[in-house]
Amino acid sequence: MPSRLRRFRGPRRPVQGCPQPLASFFPAGDPCVRFFILDVFTDRPFAGNPLAVIPDADGLDAALMQRVAAEFGFSETSFVFPEAGTPWQVRIFTPAAELPFAGHPLVGTAYALARFGYLPAEPAAPGLPLRVAAGDIEARIRFTCGHPVGAEFAAPGRFLLGDRADPAQVARLLGLSESELSDAAPLPCRAGHGLDFLLVRLADPEALGRATVRGPLPATLLELGLANGIYLFTDGDGIEADIFARMFAPAHGIAEDPATGSAAATLAGLLAHLHPEPDALLRWRIAQGREMGRPGLIETFARKRGGRLEEVRIGGRCALVAEGELLL
């Protein structure tokens, strides 16, 4: 590890005291852990999707991680458990629950580990093996002029297409008319690539901007993936993005998410599944977060061969916002 980065590491375990310079503010021996706050799927602060990363979470149990995630209040917080010679375990928490997989935490976590010296400055093989509850992934660090600027990875598992939802019920939930929803099969429907969502295609960006989740969540829609989130999308302008999207996840305590990598992976899987050509390399740029004043851009890639979807990748850039010590 480069010596200039040692001051960022903090203690290996939270039972140790806070290092300088923060030790002067806290009583000696108080347990603390290092954290970084990033904005993901953007190259500038105060845009994209915020993320807190705990780069060395050894000694933290699930209950404490859940409280830490609730304290940050971001859509997700990631906790890393470094392990020599094996994929590093990453646990991801929303303010309300742990997730088996999520997109922007893995992009941001990989970037943070590379940016702050937990990895070689620019490894010969840029792959970083990570382990989440949904399976093992290999994140690829993106470098510009030798400096990490973001990351990408292949979504775990395989794409799964579920049942179709009742368009009238979905429209009522969103405060829209049924005519503002696309009725092209199989939408609206449940689908997943690592994490299930309810995917809904809208007629135009105006309808996308007016949509909001209204009233209690119907049980029939919860069964169709709404517990993880409802992902709305429409055609983009072809300049800023190919697709405009929004995501609501009230069951996770997230009124709206600025940029949702796992939902983007699911959408890319669906679009590739519906693509008529049996062999294709496909790409979509998905803009999300505009309505929240936090614009982000998610890059998605899909590869089909012989009519079978082989891989979906998502990626993007990251920006550092803050770093510090969390007193436990």
Where in the sequence numbering do the catalytic residues fall?
76
H helix or E strand, kind and range, residue 220: helix 219-221
The two tokens of residue 110 are 């990989």
Q: How far is residue 243's CA from residue 77's CA, in Å, rounded to a whole number?
A: 26
CA gap 45, 114 in Å, rounded: 18
Q: Cis before residue 186, ω within 30 degrees of 0? A: yes
Query: Distance between CA atoms of 266 and 312, rounded to whole angstroms?
Result: 8
- Between CA 143 and CA 145 the distance in angstroms is 6
Q: At what angle do helices 261-274 and 103-115 cross, to 10 degrees?
A: 120
49-60 as b/e: b if 16+ CB within 10 A:
bbbbbbbbbbbb
Residue in the structure block whose two tokens are 């007193």: 327
Residues 6+ apart with CB under 8 A from 239: none
Cα separations in angstroms, 97 against 77, 92, 129, 193: 11, 9, 24, 19
Burial of 146: CB neighbours in 10 Å, binned 0-12, 13-18, 19+: exposed
3-state secondary structure of 96: coil
DSSP helix/strand/coil, 32: strand
Residues β-bridged to residue 272: none
